[in-house]
Structure 1
């Protein structure tokens, strides 16, 4: 479902008037159209099928490179993402780390990135975003386990209230074998050594 650009423009004008501004002054005259562009980009995932990128799989035993079968988890670190918190419509952004233990089928790494991007471009909360990513992968890909770790900074923490610019939020969602702490311990260690840690943003 596409964003209703005309409606966004109209409501942006109303919002500017509601805070006591003049939407016709030079600095704000193009703001409604810019907001329509912004919302079209930020909320492109609303109504989109997040599982669609996982439809094209590769057989690990009959695929193009059976001699390179993964014997352990596939771990993709430092997927940059940004989303919008549904509570205040302020942005939050960070990095996603995804690991899965393949069964008979694997996907190209770009498919995992597209799952994150689709689910992130909706009004979200970080905890649910991680759970949705884990559910999408575990339900639509042949896996024995999935682990999703999100590390993000939130505008509602850094820009309002207590204003803690260095604070980041870490969430974890696990499925299958990785619901067991011992099974995911190695992955958590590998993710922790990521060069894209929160402090490096």
Structure 2
């Protein structure tokens, strides 16, 4: 039997199946699935999944497909992009801010494209480390900058509300590409400007 092609599936195409599974989960945890407060829960959860898992339908090339020729070859920073994602280990939310810096090589993207790219990468089952490297790799491939750096800050509810229950703990990850790897002054400039 061939492996399922998950890239060609979506919540929208599977609404009835997902609603049925949510209903069964509610029953299995001991809920009365016929009580008033839960009657519409499977449909609400499915609609929520359409939103929080929208990244499976995203096309990175389409998001960054429109670029502008610009001779600016100095550091550009887009910081404090808020994101929400779901931990692939527990399906619990994690969220925080993403900071992107890049040095264009004659091609720039509209600023809103970076926020859209963050949504596309984060709105799926993820781990923070992959989000960080995926964003850097996509920027490097699509914009071909001299270099880029991505810093992701996250608070993970799988760590705050269960298990060790360490509320307020932050995870910080980074990825560097191109000139950011070799130029310590550029990395320092990027990190220092994040504090302003």
* TM above 0.5: yes
1:198 counterpart residue number? none
1:48 counterpart residue number? 58
Q: Taking structure 1 as reference, are residues 181 and 18 closer, same or farther at Cα in structure 2, changes over 3 Å only?
A: farther
1-side partners of 2:132 and 2:96: how far apart?
A: 12
> TM-score when scaled to structure 1?
0.88
Runs of 4+ that moved beyond 4 A: none
1:186 counterpart residue number? 189
2-side partners of 1:17 and 1:24: how far apart?
A: 10
For 1:139-169, what per-residue CA distance to the aligned partner results, in whole angstroms no more than 9, with x for missing partners? 0113010100000100101110111111011
CA positional deviation for 1:2:
2.7
1:30 counterpart residue number? 40
1:6 counterpart residue number? 16
2-side partners of 1:149 and 1:181: how far apart?
A: 16
Asked if 2 retains the 8 angstrom alpha-carbon contact of 1:78 and 1:96, the reply is yes
> TM-score when scaled to structure 2?
0.90
Asked if 2 retains the 8 angstrom alpha-carbon contact of 1:106 and 1:142, the reply is no
How much is the aligned-residue C-alpha RMSD, in angstroms? Answer: 1.2
- SS of alignment partner, residue 2 of structure 1: coil
Asked if 1 retains the 8 angstrom alpha-carbon contact of 2:92 and 2:157, the reply is yes
2-side partners of 1:71 and 1:56: how far apart?
A: 18
1:142 counterpart residue number? 144
Equivalenced residues, count: 185
CA positional deviation for 1:51:
2.9
CA positional deviation for 1:38:
0.8
1:15 counterpart residue number? 25
1-side partners of 2:61 and 2:98: how far apart?
A: 17
